[in-house]
Amino acid sequence: MKFLYIFFLFIFSLGSAQEGFRFQEDVKKEVIPFQLINNLIFIPITVNGVELTFLLDTGVAESLLFSLEQKELKFYDVEKVKFSGLGGNTEIEGLKSINNIVQVGKNLKDYGHTIFVILNEEFNFSSHVGIPVNGIIGYHFFKNHPVKIDYITKRLTVYSKRRLAPKETRKFSEIPITLELNKPYLTAGVEQTHEKKDSKLLVDLGNSDPLWLFPSMIPDFQYNRPNIDDFLGRGFNGDIYGKRSRIHRLYLQNFIMEKPLMAMPDEFSIQHLNLVKDRKGSLGSEILRRFTVIVDYPNRKLYLKKNRNFQDPFHFNMSGLDIKHDGMFWDKDIVKVANPSPRHSDDASGFAISTNEFQYLFTLKPEYSVAGSRADSPAYRAGIRKGDKITRINGGKAADMKLEQIMSLMKSEAGKRITVEVDRGGQIMKFSFYLEDPVPYTDSK
């Protein structure tokens, strides 16, 4: 991993090493803005004086680092470790570093933070979210203070007091949670077809899907039809595959969600996962984003309040394309000059060259390519294949779009026509297809 310098300096732990994040000043709360991409929350975090971007994920017990994006960062007290989790491969090697100074916002700081460094660069998922992501933070961010997540304003509020005042939770529904292996679990009602079953689910902010169920953990499990085989994501140990379908209803206290999507990883993908007793699956961020959420580890509670996203339909990528960010390139735009005068200028993001009539603007823009094309999907049937470089979508330059915009388009609505222009080995090819939901819920009664 380039620019990662490891210093094997064995020093004594600070007295506050196990205390976690603490407020540095006498304030009631800390408000932290976040980026929301594909239902996932990304926050700025400073590690040993270096500003980085971390995924906020209740599904991980420890803080992980897997990329530095050309930044230099010093680590102390380092030892080799091995990781295992979702994905079909064997364990991967990494490093454990203690006594790191980690700061979030202006007032939250941990002087003895432990970070696990993943040395396998393939684990870096930055190309699939469209922004540089350096790591993942979970339990240690939440363990000392209640945290409110507002998906509408894109703000986190961390409260300094361990117990919330009644006014903070007055309009919320309260759900008890358990903390097991430093991860939160709740009980939800899962109604696959017509019978509701109480199911223990991991509350997983790092999972962008609505719901995951583990068929091998559920007696007499029956796959709902229709279902499709699909790539579900990436874990510590490689790619995760399984099936996608829908269930009839999901119940969270007094909240009922109709026909949510569910993913079901295959046994090979979860073979290295250390499952807690009676766990049936995971509750993901496509559900959680429909609420204002208060995660209260100190008092073992989760609070939910409906927001304007609650009635959104459960759509997923209906094109069948897995699209990734492939870096940046210099793009040239030609602009008519109102008052021409020969000149040249530049700034941090680009430069301009003017002639007597036109100005040529050179700007760094993103490149995209197809990381996968699901068999029998609309895009696959149209002819789009893995490795194709995407140049235009629906007539516009792909370089003028963010990856999040592209993926939102691909899951917008069934029946929508999509045109894609690709560069395949230097040959420009055009394709057209219609989005279609391959897993509509059908009542089998």
Question: Can you tell me the distance from the alpha carbon of 100 to that of 113, in angstroms, rounded to the nearest whole number?
Answer: 5
Type of residue numbered 332: K
Give the helix/strand (H/E) hosting 94.
Answer: strand 92-104
The answer, yes or no, to whether residue 295 has pLDDT greater than 70, is yes
Decide if 119 is inside a domain. Answer: yes
Residue 17 has a pLDDT of 41
Q: Which is nearest to 48 in space by CA: 112, 102, 117?
A: 102
Quick: pLDDT tens for 275-293.
Answer: 889 999 999 999 999 999 9
SS3 81: strand
The answer, yes or no, to whether residue 307 has pLDDT greater than 80, is yes
Lowest mean pLDDT across 117-131, 162-176, 199-213, 247-261: 117-131
The total of structural domains in the chain comes to 3
Cα distances (Å, whole numbers) of residue 255 to 151, 203, 309, 363: 18, 16, 13, 47
Same domain, 177 and 302: yes
Decide if 316 is inside a domain. Answer: no
Same domain, 129 and 50: yes
End residue of a domain, out of 136, 159, 182? 159
Residue of higher predicted confidence among 232 and 434 = 434
The token pair at 280 is 């049936």
Decide if 408 is inside a domain. Answer: yes
Decide if 315 is inside a domain. Answer: no
Residue of higher predicted confidence among 216 and 185 = 185
**pTM recorded for the entire structure:** 0.83
Residue 342 has a pLDDT of 47
Same domain, 140 and 173: no
pLDDT band, very low/low/confident/very high, at 205 (cuts 50, 70, 90): very high
Same domain, 203 and 271: yes
Decide if 276 is inside a domain. Answer: yes
Lowest mean pLDDT across 37-46, 80-89, 173-182, 434-443: 80-89
Question: Can you tell me the distance from the alpha carbon of 139 to that of 62, in angstroms, rounded to the nearest whole number?
Answer: 6
Q: Which CATH number characterizes residue 424's domain?
A: 2.30.42.10
Residue 122 has a pLDDT of 65
Of all residues in the chain, what percent carry a pLDDT higher than 90? 49
Domain that holds residue 121: 4-159
Same domain, 419 and 296: no
The answer, yes or no, to whether residue 57 has pLDDT greater than 90, is yes
The token pair at 350 is 């680009």
Decide if 339 is inside a domain. Answer: no
pLDDT band, very low/low/confident/very high, at 12 (cuts 50, 70, 90): very low
pLDDT band, very low/low/confident/very high, at 6 (cuts 50, 70, 90): very low
Same domain, 112 and 208: no
Same domain, 20 and 142: yes
Q: Which CATH number characterizes residue 252's domain?
A: 2.40.70.10
Scanning the structure block, which residue is given the tokens 């091995």?
82
Same domain, 176 and 222: yes
Average pLDDT over residues 17-29: 80
Please give, one letter per residue, the 3-state secondary structure of 13-76: CCCCCCCCCEECCCCCEEEEECEEECCEEEEEEEECCEEEEEEECCCCCCEEECCCCCCCEEEC
Same domain, 147 and 26: yes
The answer, yes or no, to whether residue 418 has pLDDT greater than 70, is yes
Same domain, 149 and 182: no
Decide if 9 is inside a domain. Answer: yes
Quick: pLDDT tens for 59-103.
Answer: 988 898 887 777 788 887 888 877 665 444 556 777 888 999 999
Same domain, 36 and 86: yes
Same domain, 133 and 172: no
